[in-house]
Structure 1
Amino acid sequence: MYEQVAAHGRADYNDMRAMLERGGFVRLESRRDSAHVLFRRGPEMISVPLSKPVNVSYIERVIDIVEEGSYIAEPHDEGSALEERDDPIRALARLYEGTSADADRAVRAGLPSITWGHLVQVGYTPQELAAIVGCSEEAIARKHDRREVLDVAEGDRTMRLVRITGDAIAAFGDPAKAVRWMRKPNRALSGERPIDAVVTEHGLSLVRRAVGVVAYGGVA
């Protein structure tokens, strides 16, 4: 199947990932002379042809996503599969549950800008994201609306927030509590807020240590 899609399908990896993250993705279909991605748009099903030459390794990655089940939803079913796909916690978990090497590869490949949307859904404000990423709110909104891929600097800072937020959610057991903790001045950080500290590598390591204290039953 991989070889068939590689020979006849047409897509760019970043384009494909942007389409997947945009929502409504149902499945990838490979036929003898074509390859298409199926999306749901309201009550309709839309078939999108792959648009640029691709290689086998790229298609393997796409099919891996499909076979994991995170984005699969049968056309007649509006149930749990779609809810899982739209869950921002699940979407972020796909990033923060990997290893540091996985995170680094994802940043260098280009994080999808919809990651910012997931962080806002979890509880952060656009102003907070802009301060962490180092750009204006307008730039964030524009890039998110166009479904552009983040550059390495933007992705690196975004990934720091994603991973520490994942750790905090695991420690507190609740996204709202985790975000509140990120916003509060912290004695372990000399009174600095965790959300402000994560803009540097040193600050991130201190925040991780503080989250670790919480995870093991302490107060930080």
Structure 2
Amino acid sequence: MSIVSEKTKRSGQGKYTVEKLLGIETADNLKLAKKVEAGFSFGALERVGKTAGLSLETLRGAVRITPRTLTRRRKEKKLSPEESDRLVSVSRLLAQTFELFEGNTEAAMRWFQSPNRALNGQSPIEVAATETGAREVENLIGRLEHGVFT
């Protein structure tokens, strides 16, 4: 079971999971890792953007794909394993953000794209471009879930 699936099962929700955002079916993290190693289809990137209401340009930046590489990936219809892994990371944060805002996607996306004092004035999507930054955003979401607003 993936991290987000586990969390959302505990909360009794689960409308937003990494798997649902990516449009894949997987029962656990090992199966997800295999899919990442194979590289997701380009459609997975488009699906996450559409579901989250993010432009492909914004999502491209969060997954660290250059404009030229994005064009190439669109033609190849496939993401690299590294890009796929970063897409999972961003999708995990998006799912957690949607759950934090109890499914209010508009408010969730406004928060996810707005500067945040707890992130030194950067938006969560900007910080999420690296694994270390993604962990910091995840920590912030956890603090907010528990009412710690610093």
Same structural fold, with TM-score higher than 0.5 when normalized by the shorter chain: yes
Bigger relative contact order, structure 1 or 2 (CA pairs below 8 A, ≥6 apart): 2
Matched, 1:109 2:38: yes
Unaligned runs of 5+ in 1: 1-88
Deviation (angstroms), 1:148? 1.6
| Structure 1 segment 1-220 matched on structure 2, within 5 A | 91-92=20-21, 100-121=29-50, 122-137=52-67, 139-140=69-70, 143-144=73-74, 146=75, 148-173=77-102, 174-219=104-149
The answer on whether the counterparts of 2:39 and 2:78 sit within 8 Å (CA) in structure 1 is: yes
Alpha carbon RMSD of aligned pairs, Å? 3.1
The answer on whether the counterparts of 2:22 and 2:45 sit within 8 Å (CA) in structure 1 is: no
Which structure 1 residue ranges, 4+ long, deviate > 6 Å from structure 2? none
Deviation (angstroms), 1:98? 6.1
- The structure with the largest strand share of the pair is 1
Q: TM-score, normalised by structure 1?
A: 0.51
Unaligned runs of 5+ in 2: 1-17
Deviation (angstroms), 1:139? 4.0
The answer on whether the counterparts of 1:198 and 1:204 sit within 8 Å (CA) in structure 2 is: yes
Inter-partner Cα distance in structure 2 for 1:120 and 1:170: 17
- The structure with the largest helix share of the pair is 2
Which entry has the higher C-alpha Rg, 1 or 2? 1
What per-residue deviation string (whole Å, max 9, x for no partner) do you get for residues 79-116 of structure 1?
Answer: xxxxxxxxxx9731766996544443321122121111
Inter-partner Cα distance in structure 1 for 2:57 and 2:70: 10
| Residues 158 and 96 (structure 1), Cα distance of their counterparts in 2 relative to 1, 3 Å cut | farther
The answer on whether the counterparts of 1:114 and 1:147 sit within 8 Å (CA) in structure 2 is: no
Identity score, percent: 24
